[in-house]
Amino acid sequence: MPNSIKRRGLMLVLSSPSGAGKSTLARMLLTDKEKLELALSISVTTRSRRPSEIEGVHYHFIQTREFERLRDSDALIEWAEVHGNFYGTPREAAENALADGQDMLFDIDWQGALQLQEKMKGDVVSIFILPPSMAALKERLHRRAEDAEDVINMRLDNARNEIERWRSYDYVIVNEDLDRAYQQVQSIVTAERLRRDRCPGLFDFVSSLLDEKLD
């Protein structure tokens, strides 16, 4: 489709139990910028920063009081408590980007995905990432080596509950081979961008096509 045809941005929601590879896939999508041009929605969280994380890049790390202030002033499109911490999506940045035709990536849990699906149904494309096995999930959480042992155990305990949410997503991908899973996410983005109802600019394009005079 020609780039001149205007369309509204889409909201690509990626969720998974912790350790299934969602952040890895998100990183691959974001660094593949030339082709996919997705922008990450940067959440606010009350969780402590991991050693590898950068304020304003991975999250905005805030105190609980500040989180409550944002939530109570309707500055978050969705929010949830996950693994004992609060997380939320800032409203303004996401809404401006979508209106501008910028596609956004949301790395959020099932509770947030449900809220976005309710509030912004036509804009959301949701993908759930599953691990190939529970043993692989455990192994990946340990290999990531960024969380303490008790945090890893809590995340594993929560994984079954999270996996049970798979049915409320548009697409489900089993992340066994990372490159294959990435190709599958890419294909979904490409196809969803071409949906007729996402491209209001098609009306003008088709009119001008039909009006075109041939010699």
Q: Are 177 and 37 in contact (CB under 8 A)?
A: no
Q: Is 198 in the site for ligand ADP (CB under 6 A)?
A: no
Per partner kind, with CB cut-offs from 5 to 8 A, the member of ligand 5GP, ligand ADP, none near residue 91 is: none
Closest CA relative to residue 82, chosen from 154, 171, 25, 130: 154
Among 43, 46, 126, 175, binds ligand 5GP (CB under 6 A): 43
Of the listed pieces 35-43, 48-56, 69-77, 174-182, which binds ligand ADP according to CB under 6 A? Answer: 174-182
Per partner kind, with CB cut-offs from 5 to 8 A, the member of ligand 5GP, ligand ADP, none near residue 82 is: ligand 5GP
User: Per residue, what are the HEC states of 148-193?
Assistant: CHHHHHHHHHHHHHHHHHHHHCCEEEECCCHHHHHHHHHHHHHHHH
Pairing of β 104-107 and β 39-40: parallel
| Alpha-carbon distances, residue 20 vs 23, 77, 80, 125, 157 (angstroms) | 9, 25, 20, 19, 14
Of the listed pieces 5-13, 82-90, 166-174, 175-183, which binds ligand 5GP according to CB under 6 A? Answer: 82-90
Among 108, 130, 141, 181, binds ligand 5GP (CB under 6 A): 108
The encoded tokens of residue 8 equal 């509204």
Of the listed pieces 1-9, 66-74, 77-85, 203-211, which binds ligand 5GP according to CB under 6 A? Answer: 77-85
- Which residues are at the interface with ligand ADP (CB under 6 A)? 16, 18-24, 140, 143-144, 175, 177-178
